[in-house]
Copies of this chain bind each other. A is one copy, B any other.
């Protein structure tokens, strides 16, 4: 009975559909279906465009928008997240596959599916092991810098389609050099289609909604129609190519997209391919998870819902495994489409499953209509979408707020642009951690005194406080651990070297959250050195967990001074009576 109960709970933890599915009814159904229709319309051009960005055949984008959505509907916890191919992950997929140096289209497609599979397994395992916290080591500024730099890379990579030329590269320098040195001549008709589409899409973003509102349409409907702008561009430019035979005038088109449902595919299990793709898959997993979970959290907060980050890992893992076995490539939760899904009123993850049905119908029926779709139109869609990701204001904010964050964000941007997405994001994480460690290795130590009339102690350099030359109180503003143990020793020795009448030194430990063994040895050394100089060492405001641990060592037996519960107690006890 208990076992059965816990089995049920485990099932409900890993398959949230069992929870929300129970309350599913007609109202939620109709809301979900409406949202699904709108997201489907938005997702068709996006899926095709992002597949091309990833260097894959257009249909793989459609396939990646079917089964993965069903998997997320079963395993995901967000009620509004729309999963599928997204810009940054597509760019990272292109970089990962570019590293392999493949030219055979079948091998490229197999590598993309394998990448999705490895990433899916990683995400699922991380979810089961509850390793979601690892994503926290990507700091917000690093993510912001990475997204901005990726947006620039993506937009630049699409310029070749706008100009109708060939160009390659995974870094800004490679891309620009490739664009400048191409042997191809710009195709003026392609350029015209590209530029007009870009201008149209920007106008749709800014100008269409106010226009529709002025025609008396409801705000929500105006918003939805504005979001469908890319579909309008797709239809118009496809028709133009078809009617004016622009294909024979050099306009590159999407061409034959196979008609039918996604094929059943198997990832490769070649150990050498796995080891080549391992790091890329890890980076894609982490970036995809971070992007997805931040969207999901933002939307959940608006409806006072909760998402479970560790279960999100399982949901995204299942989606990627689903992508791998159905002809797709790495997917994650996308920002723009999730907002549309939310605004369109999606109530449950079932909306995603209905979207999958919509895309499935498109794959079955609409693909012949996509034959004449110009690649320049898709490139224009991508450029307009990703330029909204580019935001350099993070640089000025970071500069003003914290030079450490500024260093991390600017290094991330420069390295992503200069050396590619994988180096960029890895460097961002390492720089964040390195600077954090560097900072904690040289902690802030303040000499404090009593604020008159209170029991409160503040920095003698910043406040008017009472002090006495025989009593020095040092507030250590950091946990004491191996990286700063030597620093503390040097600091105390320097302090006592310059002042003779010191009789008591108090280390105020209100900000010391840990004392590890290295720091304990340093404290013992300080105690010994001060003892030789006939100075007593005291501690005050030692926290409970830290005190528990000190009591298990010999430090307290050898300590020349006392441990005071509060700094005020220490001050009262040690202040010279004869003054």
Q: Does A521 lie within 8 Å of B477, measured CB to CB? A: no
- Assembly CA distance A462 to B459 (angstroms): 28
Q: Does B433 lie within 8 Å of A437, measured CB to CB? A: yes
Q: Does A482 lie within 8 Å of B140, measured CB to CB? A: yes
Q: Is the interface of A mostly helix, strand, loop or mixed?
A: helix
* A565 interface hit (Cβ, 8 Å): yes
- How would residues 526 to 569 of chain A score, 1 for a CB under 8 Å from any chain B CB and 0 otherwise? 00010000000000000111000100110000000000011010
Q: Does B442 lie within 8 Å of A133, measured CB to CB? A: yes
Of the stretches A79-87, A274-282, A393-401, the one at the interface is A393-401
* A478-B479, A549-B402, A568-B454 as given contacts; A517 in contact with B137, CB under 8 Å: no
Question: Whole-angstrom distance from the CB of A382 to the nearest CB of chain B?
Answer: 28
Query: Which residues from B are CB-within-8-Å of A247?
Result: none
- Assembly CA distance A360 to B441 (angstroms): 43
Q: Does B402 lie within 8 Å of A517, measured CB to CB? A: yes
* A437-B433, A516-B139, A568-B454 as given contacts; A401 in contact with B482, CB under 8 Å: no
Question: Whole-angstrom distance from the CB of A398 to the nearest CB of chain B?
Answer: 6
Of the stretches A149-157, A220-228, A264-272, A506-514, the one at the interface is A506-514
- Assembly CA distance A439 to B239 (angstroms): 60
Contact of A138 among B140, B442, B482, B511 (CB under 8 A): B482
Contact of A401 among B439, B517, B566 (CB under 8 A): B517
Determine how many copies of this chain the complex contains. 2
Of the stretches A24-32, A158-166, A484-492, the one at the interface is A484-492
Question: Whole-angstrom distance from the CB of A410 to the nearest CB of chain B?
Answer: 13
A436, closest chain B residue (CB):
B481
* A520 interface hit (Cβ, 8 Å): yes
- How would residues 448 to 480 of chain A score, 1 for a CB under 8 Å from any chain B CB and 0 otherwise? 000100111011001000000000000001110
Question: Whole-angstrom distance from the CB of A566 to the nearest CB of chain B?
Answer: 4
* A176 interface hit (Cβ, 8 Å): no
Q: In A1-28, which residues have CB < 8 Å from any B CB?
A: none
* A377 interface hit (Cβ, 8 Å): no
* A446 interface hit (Cβ, 8 Å): yes
Question: Whole-angstrom distance from the CB of A179 to the nearest CB of chain B?
Answer: 33
* A141 interface hit (Cβ, 8 Å): yes
Q: Does A443 lie within 8 Å of B513, measured CB to CB? A: yes
A520, closest chain B residue (CB):
B401
* A444 interface hit (Cβ, 8 Å): yes
Q: Does B544 lie within 8 Å of A139, measured CB to CB? A: no
Q: Does B510 lie within 8 Å of A510, measured CB to CB? A: yes
- Assembly CA distance A404 to B517 (angstroms): 9
Q: Does A516 lie within 8 Å of B136, measured CB to CB? A: no
A514, closest chain B residue (CB):
B439
- Assembly CA distance A404 to B432 (angstroms): 23
A533, closest chain B residue (CB):
B304
Question: Whole-angstrom distance from the CB of A17 to the nearest CB of chain B?
Answer: 24
- Assembly CA distance A568 to B477 (angstroms): 20
* A543-B477, A566-B454, A568-B456 as given contacts; A517 in contact with B133, CB under 8 Å: no
A483, closest chain B residue (CB):
B136
* A440 interface hit (Cβ, 8 Å): yes
Query: Which residues from B are CB-within-8-Å of A565?
Result: 451, 456, 458
* A367 interface hit (Cβ, 8 Å): no
Question: Whole-angstrom distance from the CB of A409 to the nearest CB of chain B?
Answer: 8
* A426 interface hit (Cβ, 8 Å): no
- Assembly CA distance A455 to B453 (angstroms): 12
Q: In A364-410, which residues have CB < 8 Å from any B CB?
A: 397-398, 400-402, 404-405
Query: Which residues from B are CB-within-8-Å of A106?
Result: none
Query: Which residues from B are CB-within-8-Å of A512?
Result: 511
* A301 interface hit (Cβ, 8 Å): yes
Contact of A405 among B477, B513, B517, B529 (CB under 8 A): B517
Q: Does B544 lie within 8 Å of A462, measured CB to CB? A: yes
* A187 interface hit (Cβ, 8 Å): no
Listed residue (A432, A482, A487) with the most chain B CB atoms within 10 angstroms of its CB? A482
Q: Does B517 lie within 8 Å of A139, measured CB to CB? A: yes
* A518 interface hit (Cβ, 8 Å): yes
Q: Does B482 lie within 8 Å of A139, measured CB to CB? A: yes
A-B contact pairs, 17 of them (CB 8 A): A136-B485, A137-B437, A139-B482, A140-B518, A140-B521, A397-B517, A398-B517, A401-B517, A401-B549, A402-B516, A432-B482, A436-B437, A443-B513, A451-B565, A456-B565, A511-B511, A511-B513
Q: Which 5 A-B pairs have the closest CB atoms?
A: A139-B482, A140-B518, A455-B455, A477-B513, A511-B511
| 17 additional contacts (CB under 8 A) given A402-B549, A454-B566 | A136-B482, A139-B481, A139-B518, A141-B517, A405-B516, A432-B482, A436-B437, A439-B514, A444-B545, A446-B543, A451-B565, A451-B566, A455-B455, A459-B544, A462-B544, A478-B479, A510-B510
